[in-house]
Amino acid sequence: MNGRVRLDTMGEIFRRIHKLYCALVRFMGLPDAYGIRWLVYLYRAARSGSALEFISSYREMQCTLSGRAFAARKAKTLASIRRRPPSFDQARRLLFLTRHLDLDEAFSASLWDLLRDQAQQRVEAGVAPDWEPRVLEITFQLTPPVVPSDDAKAYECAPGLTIACQEFAS
Protein backbone atom coordinates (compact mmCIF):
# COMPACT_ATOMS: atom_id res chain seq x y z
CA MET A 1 0.00 0.00 0.00
CA ASN A 2 3.01 2.30 -0.38
CA GLY A 3 2.90 3.34 3.26
CA ARG A 4 -0.65 4.67 2.98
CA VAL A 5 -3.35 3.54 5.34
CA ARG A 6 -6.60 2.54 3.62
CA LEU A 7 -9.74 3.34 5.55
CA ASP A 8 -13.29 2.32 4.80
CA THR A 9 -15.54 4.15 7.22
CA MET A 10 -16.24 7.83 6.79
CA GLY A 11 -16.14 8.46 10.54
CA GLU A 12 -12.66 6.99 10.82
CA ILE A 13 -11.50 9.02 7.84
CA PHE A 14 -12.76 12.28 9.28
CA ARG A 15 -11.31 11.56 12.73
CA ARG A 16 -7.91 10.93 11.17
CA ILE A 17 -8.13 14.00 8.94
CA HIS A 18 -9.28 16.13 11.86
CA LYS A 19 -6.37 14.95 14.01
CA LEU A 20 -3.82 15.69 11.28
CA TYR A 21 -5.42 19.00 10.41
CA CYS A 22 -5.53 20.12 14.04
CA ALA A 23 -1.82 19.37 14.35
CA LEU A 24 -1.16 21.46 11.23
CA VAL A 25 -3.35 24.31 12.50
CA ARG A 26 -1.51 24.33 15.84
CA PHE A 27 1.86 24.20 14.08
CA MET A 28 0.94 27.16 11.84
CA GLY A 29 -0.66 29.10 14.71
CA LEU A 30 -4.03 29.47 12.93
CA PRO A 31 -7.39 29.81 14.69
CA ASP A 32 -9.30 26.54 15.16
CA ALA A 33 -12.17 27.65 12.90
CA TYR A 34 -10.17 26.70 9.81
CA GLY A 35 -10.13 23.06 10.91
CA ILE A 36 -13.90 22.99 11.31
CA ARG A 37 -14.48 24.49 7.85
CA TRP A 38 -12.11 21.98 6.26
CA LEU A 39 -13.88 19.04 7.89
CA VAL A 40 -17.27 20.30 6.77
CA TYR A 41 -15.96 20.71 3.22
CA LEU A 42 -14.49 17.20 3.09
CA TYR A 43 -17.64 15.70 4.58
CA ARG A 44 -19.80 17.42 1.98
CA ALA A 45 -17.46 16.43 -0.85
CA ALA A 46 -17.46 12.80 0.23
CA ARG A 47 -21.22 12.57 0.77
CA SER A 48 -22.57 14.75 -2.00
CA GLY A 49 -23.13 13.59 -5.51
CA SER A 50 -21.46 16.76 -6.78
CA ALA A 51 -18.87 15.99 -9.42
CA LEU A 52 -17.15 19.33 -8.84
CA GLU A 53 -16.66 18.66 -5.13
CA PHE A 54 -15.46 15.12 -5.85
CA ILE A 55 -12.92 16.27 -8.43
CA SER A 56 -11.74 19.08 -6.14
CA SER A 57 -10.99 16.61 -3.35
CA TYR A 58 -10.04 13.66 -5.61
CA ARG A 59 -6.45 13.25 -4.38
CA GLU A 60 -7.42 13.45 -0.69
CA MET A 61 -10.11 10.82 -1.15
CA GLN A 62 -7.75 8.64 -3.18
CA CYS A 63 -5.29 8.63 -0.27
CA THR A 64 -7.82 7.97 2.47
CA LEU A 65 -10.48 5.70 0.98
CA SER A 66 -9.87 2.02 0.31
CA GLY A 67 -9.40 1.06 -3.34
CA ARG A 68 -12.90 -0.38 -3.55
CA ALA A 69 -14.56 2.60 -1.85
CA PHE A 70 -12.68 5.04 -4.08
CA ALA A 71 -13.59 3.13 -7.25
CA ALA A 72 -17.24 3.13 -6.15
CA ARG A 73 -17.10 6.89 -5.56
CA LYS A 74 -15.63 7.46 -9.05
CA ALA A 75 -18.36 5.30 -10.60
CA LYS A 76 -21.03 7.16 -8.61
CA THR A 77 -19.70 10.50 -9.84
CA LEU A 78 -19.73 9.42 -13.48
CA ALA A 79 -23.22 7.92 -13.06
CA SER A 80 -24.54 11.18 -11.59
CA ILE A 81 -23.11 13.11 -14.56
CA ARG A 82 -24.74 10.60 -16.90
CA ARG A 83 -28.13 11.05 -15.16
CA ARG A 84 -27.95 14.85 -14.88
CA PRO A 85 -25.74 16.27 -17.62
CA PRO A 86 -23.96 19.43 -16.48
CA SER A 87 -24.34 22.74 -18.29
CA PHE A 88 -21.66 23.76 -20.76
CA ASP A 89 -19.93 25.98 -18.17
CA GLN A 90 -20.00 23.23 -15.55
CA ALA A 91 -18.63 20.69 -18.05
CA ARG A 92 -15.83 23.07 -18.97
CA ARG A 93 -14.98 23.56 -15.28
CA LEU A 94 -14.94 19.81 -14.67
CA LEU A 95 -12.63 19.16 -17.61
CA PHE A 96 -10.35 22.03 -16.62
CA LEU A 97 -10.01 20.78 -13.04
CA THR A 98 -9.51 17.18 -14.14
CA ARG A 99 -6.46 18.20 -16.16
CA HIS A 100 -5.34 21.05 -13.90
CA LEU A 101 -5.22 18.76 -10.85
CA ASP A 102 -3.66 15.94 -12.94
CA LEU A 103 -6.17 13.25 -12.04
CA ASP A 104 -5.57 9.71 -13.24
CA GLU A 105 -5.82 9.12 -16.98
CA ALA A 106 -8.55 6.47 -16.87
CA PHE A 107 -10.95 8.66 -14.89
CA SER A 108 -10.07 11.76 -16.95
CA ALA A 109 -10.66 9.88 -20.21
CA SER A 110 -13.99 8.48 -18.98
CA LEU A 111 -15.15 11.94 -17.92
CA TRP A 112 -13.98 13.46 -21.22
CA ASP A 113 -15.81 10.80 -23.29
CA LEU A 114 -19.00 11.31 -21.31
CA LEU A 115 -18.97 15.13 -21.47
CA ARG A 116 -18.00 15.15 -25.17
CA ASP A 117 -20.87 12.79 -26.03
CA GLN A 118 -23.34 14.89 -24.04
CA ALA A 119 -22.17 18.08 -25.77
CA GLN A 120 -22.52 16.41 -29.17
CA GLN A 121 -26.04 15.25 -28.28
CA ARG A 122 -27.00 18.83 -27.33
CA VAL A 123 -25.67 20.08 -30.66
CA GLU A 124 -27.57 17.38 -32.59
CA ALA A 125 -30.76 18.22 -30.67
CA GLY A 126 -30.32 21.88 -31.65
CA VAL A 127 -30.11 23.18 -28.07
CA ALA A 128 -26.41 24.08 -28.16
CA PRO A 129 -24.16 25.88 -30.62
CA ASP A 130 -21.87 23.86 -32.90
CA TRP A 131 -18.70 25.13 -31.19
CA GLU A 132 -19.44 23.66 -27.72
CA PRO A 133 -17.74 20.26 -28.27
CA ARG A 134 -14.70 21.99 -29.76
CA VAL A 135 -14.32 24.34 -26.77
CA LEU A 136 -14.57 21.36 -24.42
CA GLU A 137 -11.91 19.56 -26.45
CA ILE A 138 -9.59 22.57 -26.35
CA THR A 139 -10.10 22.87 -22.58
CA PHE A 140 -9.37 19.19 -22.06
CA GLN A 141 -6.38 18.97 -24.40
CA LEU A 142 -4.67 22.28 -23.58
CA THR A 143 -4.95 22.50 -19.80
CA PRO A 144 -1.58 21.63 -18.26
CA PRO A 145 -1.33 20.13 -14.77
CA VAL A 146 -0.30 22.54 -12.02
CA VAL A 147 1.60 19.86 -10.14
CA PRO A 148 2.09 16.69 -12.17
CA SER A 149 1.38 13.47 -10.25
CA ASP A 150 4.89 12.11 -10.79
CA ASP A 151 8.33 13.28 -11.90
CA ALA A 152 8.28 11.52 -15.27
CA LYS A 153 5.01 13.24 -16.16
CA ALA A 154 6.47 16.63 -15.24
CA TYR A 155 8.99 16.33 -18.07
CA GLU A 156 6.26 15.30 -20.54
CA CYS A 157 3.97 18.26 -19.81
CA ALA A 158 5.70 21.04 -21.75
CA PRO A 159 6.42 19.06 -24.95
CA GLY A 160 2.94 17.50 -24.81
CA LEU A 161 1.31 20.92 -24.43
CA THR A 162 3.39 22.30 -27.32
CA ILE A 163 2.34 19.43 -29.58
CA ALA A 164 -1.34 19.83 -28.62
CA CYS A 165 -1.18 23.59 -29.36
CA GLN A 166 0.38 22.94 -32.75
CA GLU A 167 -2.32 20.38 -33.59
CA PHE A 168 -5.09 22.82 -32.71
CA ALA A 169 -3.42 25.64 -34.64
CA SER A 170 -3.29 23.61 -37.85
Beta-strand runs (E) in the chain: none
What is the rounded average pLDDT of the residues 160-167?
66
Do 111 and 94 form a contact (C-beta atoms < 8 A)? yes
Highest mean pLDDT, choosing among 23-37, 42-56, 94-108, 148-162: 94-108
The C-alpha atoms of residue 165 and residue 149 are separated, in whole angstroms, by 22
Q: What is the DSSP letter of 65?
A: B
Q: Is the pLDDT of residue 123 over 90?
A: yes
**Does the pTM exceed 0.75?**
no
Residue 97: partners with Cβ closer than 8 Å, 6 or more residues away: 52, 55, 56
- What pLDDT, on a 0 to 100 scale, did the predictor assign at position 160? 63
Residue type, 26: R
pLDDT digits (tens, 9 = 90+) for 57-101: 788 778 777 788 889 889 999 999 999 999 998 999 899 888 888
Coil, strand or helix at 16: helix
Residue 121: partners with Cβ closer than 8 Å, 6 or more residues away: none
What is the rounded average pLDDT of the residues 145-151?
64
User: Which carries the bigger pLDDT value, residue 1 or residue 47?
Assistant: 47
- What pLDDT, on a 0 to 100 scale, did the predictor assign at position 106? 92
- What pLDDT, on a 0 to 100 scale, did the predictor assign at position 64? 72
